[in-house]
């Protein structure tokens, strides 16, 4: 099948690699010829490295590359079965491109957007046939991250949804279906991982190295929140938080942090600029954690219970199924355990009493307990009857 990809930046080139590896003929287009050249050079380098490391035969790398055509016009999409857009995150620009590409592609071609934060319904509204428009949200880097969120808009028909799921699964990815709401699953449920850690820091309960130590050593997360924010970049991470906050009509649960905003304003964007919460400049000395186990356990539980609350609320509001919420967090952001399973293990009642205690202490809506957790605690229910489900 022919696959068209619009935009050859980080995401577009990564998706092109995934599709070509799965045997598709790929047409990668960008309106900036330099970007297209950069993408070609990057893909050649990535595949050459795979060969060097013995992960791939030279012949296979050559075949993958030969399946990707770097094109300077969307007219190459004439016979495409799927087109994925991965251009700049701007609703107006995306809508204009969708309107344009619809006149080129065949009637049965699926038209997908890789947007992280825009409404799929709004992008689909630019098309004459919005029923074939859908969100197909890859994570960065696309060739390595297993998870893909599939987001039908209100206009999307069932055939488009089913075909998209099948296709992306045939590329070796795990798909989850999310409702067309801000942040979909991962970027919504993960907010407290950063937000509550920042809040603990701002209150002076612990410093960044101690919070990171607690979350990795005690919590079992792969990276602590401050190391991860420095890695993602404060410009990107702060913007996602602010977008989610605005999109949720300023729900205090998603309130961004001044501490992070100031780092962004200072240009201390993290690893990529040499400074963030930590100093990455050559020879820099970073303070170590206070390895206080009791404090560490308190930190982990406070962040975890906020994550559990988000996951429970996402289920309560039918953003995704129980199974898909677990898959999204374990495969999209590599959490050591599904949050709903974690809630079962900690005890639903324990989650509710902790959230109520935080709410009583701070009198902030940020700590309001999900009605689903409260109802489950009252009825003595668990998320999964079989504790080994995930
Ligand atoms: N970077 C991430 O971590 C990430 C993760 C998931 C989803 N996304 C989403 O994927 C999309 C692309 O993000 P990215 O990080 O790859 O961006 P990027 O800036 O690396 O690449 C965007 C590319 O699109 C091209 N472009 C811009 N306008 C165009 C147009 N009208 N026609 C054709 N090409 C055009 C640019 O020249 C550029 O090469 C965005 O919607 C973003 O929200 C990004």
Q: Which of 13, 116, 119, 257 is catalytic?
A: 116
137 is catalytic: yes
Which CATH code, of 2.60.40.10, 1.10.1040.50, 1.10.10.10, 3.50.50.60, is assigned to 185-390?
A: 1.10.1040.50
The predicted pLDDT at position 385 comes to 82
Mean pLDDT to the nearest integer, 82-105: 96
For β-strands 82-85 and 25-29, DSSP reports them as unpaired
From the alpha carbon of 97, which atom of ligand 1 is closest? Answer: 31
**Residues spanned by CATH 3.40.50.720 within the chain?**
2-180
CB-CB contact of 170 with 141 (8 Å) = no
Mean pLDDT to the nearest integer, 143-154: 96
Residue nearest to atom 17 of ligand 1 (CA): 9
For β-strands 82-85 and 147-152, DSSP reports them as unpaired
- Taking the centre of ligand 1 as the mean of its atom positions, its distance from the CA of residue 13, in whole angstroms, is 10
H helices present in 203-292, as ranges = 208-213, 225-232, 234-247, 258-266
From the alpha carbon of 39, which atom of ligand 1 is closest? Answer: 39
What is the arrangement of strands in the sheet containing 110-113, beginning at the earlier edge strand? Answer: 68-71, 25-29, 2-6, 82-85, 110-113, 133-138, 147-152, 174-177
**Residues spanned by CATH 1.10.1040.50 within the chain?**
185-390
Above 60 in pLDDT, residue 96? Answer: yes
The predicted pLDDT at position 388 comes to 55
The predicted pLDDT at position 386 comes to 66
Please provide the average confidence, as pLDDT, over all residues in the chain.
Answer: 96
> Could you tell me the pLDDT band of residue 387, with boundaries at 50, 70 and 90?
low
- The Cα–Cα gap between 261 and 229 comes to 12
114 is catalytic: no
- Taking the centre of ligand 1 as the mean of its atom positions, its distance from the CA of residue 361, in whole angstroms, is 43
Encoding tokens for residue 168?
């992306």
242 is catalytic: no
Mutation probe of ligand 1 site: the residue of 32, 87, 135, 244 with most atoms within 8 A of C-beta: 87
Q: Strand (E) positions, 96-248? A: 110-113, 133-138, 147-152, 174-177
Residue nearest to atom 26 of ligand 1 (CA): 87
- The Cα–Cα gap between 185 and 364 comes to 24
> Could you tell me the pLDDT band of residue 117, with boundaries at 50, 70 and 90?
confident
- The Cα–Cα gap between 383 and 390 comes to 11
Give ligand 1 pocket residues (Cβ under 6 A). Answer: 6-12, 30-32, 35, 86-89, 93, 97, 114-116, 138-140
Mean pLDDT to the nearest integer, 113-128: 96
Q: Which of 85, 149, 165, 326 is catalytic?
A: 149
Q: Measured in whole angstroms, how far is the alpha carbon of residue 56 from the centre of its chain?
A: 28
Global confidence as pTM: 0.94
Which CATH code, of 3.10.20.30, 3.30.565.60, 3.40.50.720, 3.40.50.920, is assigned to 2-180?
A: 3.40.50.720
**DSSP per-residue letters across 59-105:** HHHHHHHHTEEEESSGGGGGG-SEEEE---S-HHHHHHHHHHHHTTS
- List the one residue out of 202, 206, 274, 183 whose CA is nearest residue 234: 274
309 is catalytic: no
> Could you tell me the pLDDT band of residue 390, with boundaries at 50, 70 and 90?
very low
pLDDT digits (tens, 9 = 90+) for 338-366: 999 999 999 999 999 999 999 999 999 99
Mean pLDDT to the nearest integer, 238-247: 92
Encoding tokens for residue 67?
């399946």
Q: Strand (E) positions, the chain? A: 2-6, 25-29, 68-71, 82-85, 110-113, 133-138, 147-152, 174-177
Mutation probe of ligand 1 site: the residue of 8, 11, 135 with most atoms within 8 A of C-beta: 11
């Amino acid at each position: 099948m022919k696959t068209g990809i619009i935009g050859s930046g980080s995401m577009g080139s990564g998706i092109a690699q995934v599709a070509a590896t799965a045997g598709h003929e790929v047409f990668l287009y960008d309106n900036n010829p330099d970007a297209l050249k950069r993408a070609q050079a990057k893909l050649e380098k990535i595949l050459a490295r795979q060969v060097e490391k013995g992960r791939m035969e030279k012949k296979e790398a050559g075949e993958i590359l030969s399946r990707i055509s770097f094109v300077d016009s969307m007219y190459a999409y004439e016979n495409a079965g799927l087109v994925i857009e991965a251009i700049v995150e701007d609703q107006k620009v995306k809508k204009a491109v969708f309107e344009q590409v619809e006149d080129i592609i065949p009637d049965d071609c699926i038209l997908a957007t890789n947007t992280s934060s825009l409404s799929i319904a709004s992008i689909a509204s630019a098309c004459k046939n919005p029923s074939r428009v859908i969100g197909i949200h890859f994570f960065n880097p696309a060739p390595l991250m297993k998870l893909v969120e599939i987001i039908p808009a209100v206009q999307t028909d069932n055939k488009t949804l089913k075909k998209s799921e099948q296709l992306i699964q045939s590329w070796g990815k795990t798909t989850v279906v999310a409702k067309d709401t801000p942040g979909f699953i991962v970027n919504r449920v993960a907010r407290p991982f950063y937000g509550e850690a920042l809040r603990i820091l701002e209150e002076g309960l612990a410093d960044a190295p101690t919070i990171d130590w607690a979350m990795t050593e005690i919590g079992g997360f792969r990276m602590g929140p401050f190391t991860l924010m420095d890695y993602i970049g404060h410009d990107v991470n702060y913007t996602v938080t602010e977008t989610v906050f605005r999109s949720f009509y300023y729900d205090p649960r998603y309130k961004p942090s001044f501490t992070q905003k100031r780092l962004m304003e200072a240009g201390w964007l993290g690893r990529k600029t040499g400074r963030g919460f930590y100093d990455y400049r050559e020879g820099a000395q970073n303070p170590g954690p206070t390895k206080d186990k009791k404090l560490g356990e308190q930190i982990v539980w406070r962040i975890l219970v906020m994550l559990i609350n988000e996951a429970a609320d996402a289920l309560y509001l039918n953003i995704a199924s129980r199974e898909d919420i677990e898959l999204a967090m374990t495969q999209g952001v590599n959490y050591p355990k599904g949050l709903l399973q974690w809630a079962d293990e900690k005890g639903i009642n324990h989650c509710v009493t902790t959230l109520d205690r935080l709410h009583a202490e701070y009198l902030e809506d940020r700590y309001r307990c999900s009605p689903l957790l409260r109802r489950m605690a009252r009825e003595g229910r668990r998320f999964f009857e079989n504790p080994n489900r995930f």
